[in-house]
A and B are shown apart, each in its own frame.
Chain A
């Protein structure tokens, strides 16, 4: 790797190590904010599920369990491939790094594909409030609150995932191609990896909230 590819620290930092450390702290500060953002949404869910347990259970029976479970697997696996990609970057295995990152991206797209298909099934089941909705017997007027939550939560999660895919693609198509990710400085990848895993964590909570309520 040519020496010129090793970036110099920005003007406000003394060393690359300090710059990298600060960037990681930055993403963690951002995640405080993201945690509370999704946490507030999930709070409304807890609240209404607590008020209307029967309505929620009935309404949630129409969620597509296999889609949610497959997506759980896909997302957890993508977190792993992301980490392996960063490991490869840390070890200077450029080819391997690219392979893992491409796989991560592909898994991200797979998630979106399954999610899209699930949305289509929801449409067929008439679970789209306003557009196509039919209250199931027993779900009362509160059951639709579950579906509002479902669309808001999965929609916001998908937006976050799309952002993540965009960032990985930016790394692959721009920063890595220009040879900027070296074992000496791969913090951008590290930061994106942390963000990616956080999107995964959101799904860990949405999965029981959406798919497991009202089974059995």
Chain B
């Protein structure tokens, strides 16, 4: 039912003869009107990289301001900066990051399909994403919103005086892009798998994207309705969240976090998929507990819907509700812990080489662990009561969302760079950047745990002078981190022209995507592959491996 078998009529030619997707056509309209998932992935990559640096710019200003208690920016400017940093980083970088780029590029390749199920919808998704990006940039250029990325009512509806309407609309429109992309992935993974590619043979990256798509598809509409009602209330001055008319200001938070808590998992699940690809490849052994990893992914996706009010323990919700959400939060931590243990044990009896993607992946595991255990602390009710809204929370979610997710993003970028461009990246520089990221990140965010427990509140442009040393340390770390994040842009750009040419399978990996030439031809597979094996058939003893369609490669 769910399987395609295509023997294209003119499939006699060897695959190498077909031009790659990069060179097939070279007009501007061939890019802007393309239906090729690989080209759309690159379009998304361009948009997302742009927004990453816009959001990063805002973060730089914030850290500059916080280097001294007196600050550098006007309070109004600082408030707008952290709001725009949050909005841009969450909706314009983290949520679309891995799914729209590597998901778009590699899902069809990994399941042996020629394209996503709805290529036009995929392209439309990119245009809608850019439209919402224009709206958010408009809001930013006009002066930005000053509500925090969470838009808590009634501050956002009646009291804030920035461009809240534009920012909320940007989020609303952005939701359509998420929905279109995730819908495409769900249907594609259900319907376009190659023969033999059963569910338990899917690479874990595909599972990661599948679980995240399900979450996006079911959580985004609630946020859409929520921001829509917010926009209505902002424009007409009264509405569903208006306490002066008997509305409940906390309802906004419920509906917001119904989306935005799963959104945290939207950011982390694809990264987990990436790490599950990278670690077996560089450890040269099968992933430890494939089925457990799949169950854990789906369990996280499912449980993520039951934990949202842990953002609201002190918001005035019923205490019984608080207890329930705390319990569910502990539950969702269990599959996350399983994944960490499985990744770690996946190194056991491997034959590990420490290339840049592997360094990023190991960094991911460590940072995710720290983010995870502090998440455990935040799930514990009395500690959350204490540190809620302080830098402890900031540090915690940056460990997950920046430490872990962005590390995974860079791991994926380096791991698949030869496949996407056909060129190697410079290994030495990449290792240096990976280590620099890890050092800079910890230096930036670990002091914030201490600041948080000391009681430094988030979203404050100033702080008591006796906390300056920690803040200065954090700002210093941020400058290292900025270099570490900008560095790949330079050497990857360099490698586009001067990089060494890569063969089809430079890492000797097992996925179907490596069976294609690098860069892949326009329509991927000339002949639909038949899958005979589960993924990750590496053998550390022999140094050999078997790709998923059954070709074995000796050392």
Contact = CB atoms under 8 A, between A and B. Distances in A.
A124 interface: no
A40 B190 contact: no
Query: At the interface, is chain A mostly helix, strand, loop or mixed?
Result: helix
B246 A21 contact: no
Interface stretch (A9-17, A167-175, A197-205): A9-17
Interface stretch (B132-140, B217-225, B346-354, B445-453): B217-225
Contacts of A55: 246
Contacts of A18: 4, 191
B210 to A, nearest CB: 12
A11 B232 CA distance: 43
A156 B247 CA distance: 21
A152 interface: yes
A14 B255 CA distance: 42
Interface stretch (A29-37, A60-68, A96-104): A29-37
B183 A29 contact: yes
A119 interface: no
B186 A29 contact: yes
Interface in A142-195: 142, 144-145, 148-149, 152, 156
B259 to A, nearest CB: 10
B237 A130 contact: yes
A55 B245 CA distance: 11
Interface stretch (B112-120, B327-335, B503-511): B112-120
B115 A148 contact: no
Contacts of A41: 225, 229
B523 A33 contact: no
Contacts of A149: 240
Interface residues on chain B, size class: 35 or more
B240 A26 contact: no
B226 interface: yes
Contacts of B190: 25
B244 interface: yes
Nearest to B191: A22
A22 B4 CA distance: 11
Contact of B218 (A23, A33, A47, A145): A33
A26 B179 CA distance: 11
Interface residues on chain A, size class: 35 or more
A32 to B, nearest CB: 6
Given A44-B240, A145-B240, A51 B217 contact: no
B246 A145 contact: yes
B426 interface: no
B192 interface: yes
B56 to A, nearest CB: 31
A52 interface: yes
A72 interface: no
A141 B226 contact: no
Given A26-B117, A29-B186, A32-B217, A14 B4 contact: yes
B397 to A, nearest CB: 25
Given A25-B190, A144-B245, A44 B179 contact: no
Given A11-B115, A130-B237, A25 B187 contact: yes
B141 interface: no
A48 interface: yes
Interface string B1-18: 000111000000000000
A142 B246 contact: yes
A152 B191 contact: no
Contact of B118 (A21, A26, A37, A52): A26
B238 A144 contact: yes
A33 B184 CA distance: 13
Nearest to A13: B4
B158 to A, nearest CB: 14
Contacts of A40: 221-222, 225-226, 255
A48 B246 contact: yes
Contacts of A37: 221-222, 224-225
Given A141-B244, A141-B245, A152 B228 contact: yes
Contact of B114 (A12, A48, A130): A12
A152 B236 CA distance: 12
Given A33-B183, A144-B238, A148-B238, A14 B244 contact: no
A92 interface: no
Contacts of B148: none
B143 interface: no
A77 to B, nearest CB: 28
Interface of B: 4-6, 108, 113-119, 121, 179, 183, 186-187, 190-192, 217-218, 220-222, 224-226, 228-229, 232-233, 236-240, 244-248, 251, 255, 523
17 contacts: A11-B523, A12-B108, A12-B119, A22-B191, A26-B183, A29-B183, A30-B179, A33-B179, A35-B221, A37-B221, A37-B225, A40-B221, A40-B226, A47-B248, A145-B239, A145-B247, A148-B232
Interface of A: 10-14, 18, 21-23, 25-26, 29-30, 32-38, 40-41, 44, 47-48, 51-52, 55, 129-130, 140-142, 144-145, 148-149, 152, 156
Given A11-B115, A40-B225, A47-B251, 9 more contacts: A10-B115, A22-B117, A22-B187, A34-B221, A36-B218, A48-B247, A130-B238, A148-B240, A152-B228
